[in-house]
Amino acid sequence: MGERRRQARLSRLMAATAVLGVVLLPVVACSGHDDASSAPTTTVDPLNEAVVDSCGNDLGTLHSTVWAIDPATGAVRWTATVPLGAGYLLRSDDGAVLVPLEKRSVDVLLDPATGAVVGYPPAGVHEVLVDSTGVATGVVGMQVVDGEQQPAQVTAAGLLVEVATGGSAVAARGVDPATGTAVWTSPLSGGGRGEGASRPVIYDDAVVIAAPAQPVPACD
């Protein structure tokens, strides 16, 4: 019955896409947002799973780096290395950082204060859309995950915090909303590539960003 409701909801979203100009990205297999904190964790080691994309590329050895940033100064509070992420971040019901993983049976929960692994909840399904025209959300390029908007900039500590990306680098930047000038720029070391970086998401008083640590094979 739940699968029928999910299919019906997806059909409605696809219909709305044609009317509102919203791009529906491929549905990603990852942990269910509503069940993240209540779902039992598993002892499966995600690093031991065979992970292959639809083109036959082995993704099992690839990782993502996650950074928590002080929005006032750009200082990195903690970093974490996880299996390759799906390119966006979510929040568990109890406020932990939920990193959906690419092509795996589990996701990763991180403590927002320390970056320590809290658990590996079983993966589910999320709906990821990008409003390519701005008709649906009022903002061109707005990303919507499970109905929650994830803008390219978030407001924290009086600044607009964004991700600055290049082909082989990723940085965080704090921008003065009045002048549009950068107050600080923080290159994010420890393995991070601009392609595939997540939108910035606020957890408590930190901004968290994730990005692939190695080049990811292209697969359409």
Could you tell me what percent of the chain has a pLDDT over 90?
Answer: 59
Q: How many domains does the chain have?
A: 1
CA distance linking residue 26 with residue 34, whole number of Å: 20
Which amino acid does the sequence have at 175?
Answer: V
> pLDDT tens, 20-50?
344 444 444 333 344 444 445 555 565 688 8
Confidence of residue 157 (pLDDT cuts 50, 70, 90): very high
CA distance linking residue 113 with residue 50, whole number of Å: 31
CA distance linking residue 34 with residue 36, whole number of Å: 6
For CA atoms 195, 54, 122, 17, give the dihedral sign: positive
Q: How many CA atoms lie within 13 A of 149 on its CB side?
A: 14
Does 47 fall in a domain? Answer: no
| Token pair 């595939």: residue | 196
Show the domain range for 97.
Answer: 2-37+61-212
Does 157 fall in a domain? Answer: yes
Question: Is residue 98 predicted with pLDDT exceeding 80?
Answer: yes
Does 46 fall in a domain? Answer: no
Q: What is the pLDDT of residue 27?
A: 40
Does 43 fall in a domain? Answer: no
Does 104 fall in a domain? Answer: yes
Give yes or no for a contact between 101 and 123, defined as CB atoms under 8 angstroms apart.
yes
4, 116, 126 from 79: Cα distances, Å:
39, 9, 25
